[in-house]
Chain A
Amino acid sequence: MLLLTLLVISVVIVQQGGVSFPNEPGPKFDNSISPIIPDALAAQKSDMILLGDSVVELNLNPPALEKALGLTIYPLHFNGSSSTLWYVAIKNVIVTSPSKPRYLVIVFRDTFLTTPAYRAQGGGYQDEIDSLATQEDSLVIQRTYVNQMNLLEKASESYFPLYVYRARIRNQIDYLIRYPLIRATMNCGKRCLDIALDTVLNGRNWDPILLNTHIAGVEDVLYTRHALDFKASVNESYLPDIIRLCKENDIRPIFVHAKTLRLYRNAYEPVLLAAYLRDLADYLRANGVSYLDIGQDPRIKPEDFADSLHIFPAAIDRYTQVLADALKTVLP
């Protein structure tokens, strides 16, 4: 009965989905690129792009940085992003822009640059990557998705329609479970509930210790022994491609290791991380790329942090000054 049901579901999915099987593992990106960022880049014609995740948004003050450096800056921050999204942003938006920046400052945390699968799996992350990726981004499909799959997942992606469509089906189930009851009882639709949940349950309202523990747990993938082995992971990452793309387009990349307060969960982490950062610095130096490490700067103190990643508003200008001072050492 189970096999029969699965067979029927598979036939229905194949017929309705219009996809042939065996299927190529990995997501199918559409060809459209969201015009918001390309338009903004073209309009602003900035000297420098500041690329990163929420650390760029919440820890830095771009106007103050502009003033300190005497350059125009476009802050390109994607909350909850990491190297895959940065790579597609560089490849499909920044280097194709009619007004390319002179400098690309990438603010990263610890092993971000060599962990392509982090923050790439699942609905929200994948949709954001898709908004900047095209069908030609086979490297992304391979490195971020297919390389992370085990044999069983690859086989399921190829030959098992229900598995391929599970995210879509789950989203539909999720929608049905999330919204109707609230709509019926409180006259509040999807947007209204999403805003309410974001307002109330946002990490900003969490207990700081629990939030840090949660972040540390989620980010364990950045601190596995493999992730902390730079030499073993660099060729699986987008770092060589980011450097190549920048060089080919006369953009000077500058990599900045940001200061955060990681709650170490394994004794080996700080030791291996120090070795990782040494190897990263050597690699970037060998490729003629600037590397700045503000991770140990004493001017940013532990008490400046609201959680392990983000600082209190009162410390933003100091964090910005630390970055400005570091950038001045490598800018002409």
Chain B
Amino acid sequence: MTFTEYDFLIFFLVFFSAYWLIKRKSWQNLLLLAASYIFYGWVHPWYALMLGLSTLVDYALALGIARNRARTKWYMALSLLFNLGVLCFFKYYNFFNEGLFQWLTSLGIQADVFIVRSLLPAGLSFYTLKKLAYMFDVSRGTLEPSRDLVGFGLFAAFFPQINAGPIDRAQKLLPQIQSERTWKADYFYNAWPLIVMGFFKKVVIADTIANYAVIPIFNLQHPTPLMLGSAALAFTVQILADFSAYTDLSRGVALLFGFETSENFNAPYQSLTPTEFWNRWHITLSTWLRDYIFFPLRRTLLRSKVQLPAWLVDALPPLVTMLVSGIWHGVGWTYVLWGGFYGVLIVLYQALGLGGSWKPSNWLTRAFAWLVMFSMIVVSFAVFRASSLQWLTGILTSGLTVGSPEQRMAAIFSLSIAIIYSLPLLLKWQMERKLPKDSFLHEVYFVAATILMLIYINSTATDFVYFQF
């Protein structure tokens, strides 16, 4: 089920009403847990079964750690093996499966007898990271394991977050799950702008850009470099609108149930350096990677008995972290290159003295730094969205630049769609920066966004981009 479906509206109204009619916290949690499993297993009930099993495994292993600290490493290894095993199986099985299919066929073996396609359960990547963070924190002793199975189950399955995050930590969600919740009008007043903006960004901006300016060009066999550039810019706008729309809707819905969840985006395209970009883009994933891969790896390298060169200690953690980020997003060389590209970029910027805390000295430097970084972001999303590296290199080595007048027109059309549909986002950003919070103009913006959303909405909205990861 997704937030933009009619089924969700019915689901939401039923559970929202029942939830606030029940006053007792334990019953509210049980109801929300049931709602989360219904939401998650709506299309494929076996998704919910798998989630339930994996939740039980981590619940038991975390309690095992608390009972016998001496065996922490064993329990942690089991959890890693289980969680990453399941994740890798579903995420990478089809990729290797196709190779295996071709190999068996080339040997004259009827391969389809052995091969079954596996369907990646939406949200698996997200709840796996959520549970792994919990296990890491329990194993480090920074978090007491939850003895409340319903509470822990709800933390893992919380329906507003299950499909595409935010990847909230147990430290943020479990205390809220364990506290009493009574209805406050503020929940509605705070959730409403998020829900309006979520629908507006998804239905009006992201889906329109995708259908007019992204899909038709990225699906072409031989677009020109100019067309690729326009479509990459369009995709840069689309993916921010799409993913931040999901986050807004997720946060809005969570708020209506009395939960405060994390922001995932903080104007990422304003960034001047790659480090700043990753501090503003998909924040809950970035902090997860930082806390559980970057810092531990850097600590290990610093404490290494073998004296390592300083440049290696500085370069390896960002490179590995960004490569893991790329592989987490999907299987294929485009994702590896995308992650590696950011790793190299971070290392280069650090080598040039433009690390995380760097600030430009004047507006000209700032403008130049922004232009360079934004161009890098667009280039990286061209790689991210490309169907294969061969496709990408084919375009860049085709010798064409702008192509025929028709191809030029298609490129300008795609560019104009990207620019025009990004204007509402730019306007919102400017309004947030320059206008006081109680300005009347914010209300005008939300009214206009609501009306546009009603005009653009239809019953066949596409899935959110990040569901596939």
Interfacial residues, chain A to chain B (CB-CB below 8 A)? 1-2, 5-6, 9, 121-122, 150, 152-153, 162-163, 166, 169-170, 173, 177-178, 181-182, 185-186, 188, 192-193, 195-197, 199-201, 205-211, 214, 267
Contact = CB atoms under 8 A, between A and B. Distances in A.
Given A162-B454, A201-B216, A207-B220, A5 B412 contact: no
Nearest to A214: B219
B409 A186 contact: yes
B455 A182 contact: no
B406 A200 contact: yes
A182 B222 contact: no
27 contacts: A5-B451, A6-B451, A9-B451, A162-B454, A166-B456, A169-B455, A170-B455, A170-B456, A173-B455, A177-B416, A182-B412, A186-B405, A186-B409, A195-B406, A197-B216, A197-B410, A197-B413, A200-B220, A200-B410, A201-B216, A201-B217, A201-B410, A207-B391, A209-B387, A210-B218, A210-B219, A210-B387
Nearest to A172: B455
B189 to A, nearest CB: 13
B455 A200 contact: no
Contact of A2 (B6, B216, B409, B450): B450
Contact of B219 (A152, A162, A186, A211): A211
A153 B417 CA distance: 29
Interface residues of B, number: 41
A205 B221 contact: yes
A169 B452 CA distance: 10
A196 B213 CA distance: 14
Contacts of A173: 455
Main secondary structure of the interface of B (DSSP, over half): helix
A166 B454 contact: yes
Contacts of A199: 406
A201 B220 contact: yes
Contacts of A195: 406
B413 A5 contact: no
Given A5-B451, A177-B417, A181-B412, 12 more contacts: A2-B450, A5-B447, A152-B6, A177-B420, A182-B416, A186-B405, A193-B413, A195-B406, A197-B410, A197-B413, A199-B406, A267-B116
A158 to B, nearest CB: 15
A182 B447 contact: no
A125 to B, nearest CB: 12
A150 B6 contact: yes
A9 B447 CA distance: 12
Contacts of A182: 409, 412-413, 416
B109 interface: no
Given A199-B406, A207-B391, A178 B454 contact: no
Nearest to A221: B460
B219 A207 contact: yes
A1 B447 contact: yes
Contacts of A197: 216, 409-410, 413
A199 B410 CA distance: 9
Contacts of B6: 150, 152-153
B446 interface: yes
B406 to A, nearest CB: 4
Interface in B377-417: 387, 391, 404-410, 412-413, 416-417
